[in-house]
Structure 1
């Protein structure tokens, strides 16, 4: 069955990989981006080339008005939504907590926690059977950092992702009767641009060698898990935290 989905932060990394896999399934995809319109348009074109339908939607997930506007755009374009991938997220350069500035902490929590909650809230409002929606699935992007803690690197990011785990569990119970499944994947060391934005472009390759599987993962491997959780094949799965971390 064809799906209509919105993916936040879909111009790069795992979000882009999810969009392309959805395109291969001929799904309709709203590609959200914050700044890089060129990258978003490239993702849109790739989804269309794969056989899907796609639009680019600008919006900062930490802005309530932007979140509402992106959902409006996706709903207007597709006639509704069947799934939302809560993917947008950021890290900052590796640092112990004692050296982190308030500005850094606010940015990490505004985007990774508040932004994710705003997106989940809007998805609940739009897809709930109680409000005239048709039900659907929310897939949150957590991280293995939520259980590892990321000491001396990203304890702020790790704490933010732990909040996503808790939100996933609670929201799954809250929205089950409304016809909405809520799950999360917890990627480990995945080869994406997020490591470069944190000041360590070789981090996934370097640390991936120490995982039980002996390598870093790919964005496509993480995306396969997201697509499964969106699809009807996972129809009895909700409240799950699925590790995609090579055993780390």
Structure 2
């Protein structure tokens, strides 16, 4: 009887992560480095001195077509064709202006769509172009996988931030469903999946909860079965699981929710109900 392998099998695999300098991105990058992958971290704002030599840092604005093309070119020169691509870069809720839909900013919507939807689209396209070239050259690749980082907001919506939920729905919905049919035509066995985290317990989340004590209850307890925010390493480990062909070879075109059993959003607070 053959002993089953419980290794991730990511050692030596070239993994590219967009948004690699962010609060979640850094954790994802560190986990891939720990797994022995060759990592290219793309971000618009890097702090290079903190990174191990096994991680290649590349400046990239994912909303700019030429910037994405150049960044992938640099990553490929440094580490070979991109096998695993993690499309994480996006504008998150903490940097957006929140307002009732009737007062929402059209300029903010256009910027968010450029980064969160357009940036993911450009990233996925460049990854596929690299696979096409590698296949034409007869190269052998392993763990060929795209992981899109979505959000619970893509399922449940966001009152006061419809633009954000719209963007996340687009990438973990229509884009993912289209890519699951496309990627296998460029590389047989290639896979595309999404991870949709709930509220992630980053330093920024902690500060937001200090500024608004009700946020912890409303977002991480009232509608979440586990009653707590998601540790960043839980998101990272799910990404590694999806990246590993050894562990997830036939998971394709799926959205994996890492949200502690999120059931939805609180629609009316007690204070709002009291004003009826």
Asked if Structure 1 and Structure 2 have the same fold, meaning a TM-score greater than 0.5 normalized by the shorter chain, the answer is yes
- Secondary structure, in 3 states, of the residue corresponding to 1:32? strand
Runs (5+) with no aligned partner, structure 2: 1-8, 263-276
Equivalent residue in structure 1 for 2:248, among 214, 220, 234: 234
Structure 2 CA distance for aligned equivalents of residues 155 and 197 of structure 1: 23
Structure 2 CA distance for aligned equivalents of residues 114 and 96 of structure 1: 24
Change over 3 Å in CA distance of 1:98–1:197 after alignment to 2: farther
Equivalent residue in structure 2 for 1:22, among 32, 36, 54: 32
| Other-structure match for 1:163 | 170
Runs (5+) with no aligned partner, structure 1: none
| Other-structure match for 1:212 | 225
| Other-structure match for 2:151 | 143
Equivalent residue in structure 2 for 1:114, among 112, 118, 131: 118
Per the TM alignment, residue 93 of structure 1 is displaced from its structure 2 partner at its CA by 2.9
- Secondary structure, in 3 states, of the residue corresponding to 2:33? helix
Per the TM alignment, residue 162 of structure 1 is displaced from its structure 2 partner at its CA by 0.6
Matches within 5 A, 1:190-209: 190-192=200-202, 205-206=216-217, 207-209=219-221
1:173-210 deviations in whole A, cap 9, x for unaligned? 11123232100001111123565899997686442122
Question: Does the aligned pair in 2 maintain the 1:187–1:244 contact within 8 Å?
Answer: yes
The 4+ residue runs of structure 1 with deviation greater than 3 A are: 128-135, 193-206
Structure 2 CA distance for aligned equivalents of residues 194 and 94 of structure 1: 16
1:97-139 deviations in whole A, cap 9, x for unaligned? 2222222111111100001000000011112465446471100
The total of aligned residue pairs comes to: 238
Larger Rg: 2
Change over 3 Å in CA distance of 1:14–1:124 after alignment to 2: same
Question: Does the aligned pair in 2 maintain the 1:93–1:197 contact within 8 Å?
Answer: no
- Secondary structure, in 3 states, of the residue corresponding to 1:191? coil
Which range moved further: 170-179 or 118-127? 170-179
Which range moved further: 18-27 or 98-107? 98-107
Question: Does the aligned pair in 1 maintain the 2:209–2:215 contact within 8 Å?
Answer: no
| Other-structure match for 2:234 | 221
Question: Does the aligned pair in 1 maintain the 2:201–2:230 contact within 8 Å?
Answer: yes
Change over 3 Å in CA distance of 1:102–1:197 after alignment to 2: farther
Q: Give the TM-score taking structure 1 as reference length.
A: 0.88
Structure 2 CA distance for aligned equivalents of residues 93 and 192 of structure 1: 20
Which range moved further: 233-242 or 192-201? 192-201
Change over 3 Å in CA distance of 1:8–1:197 after alignment to 2: farther
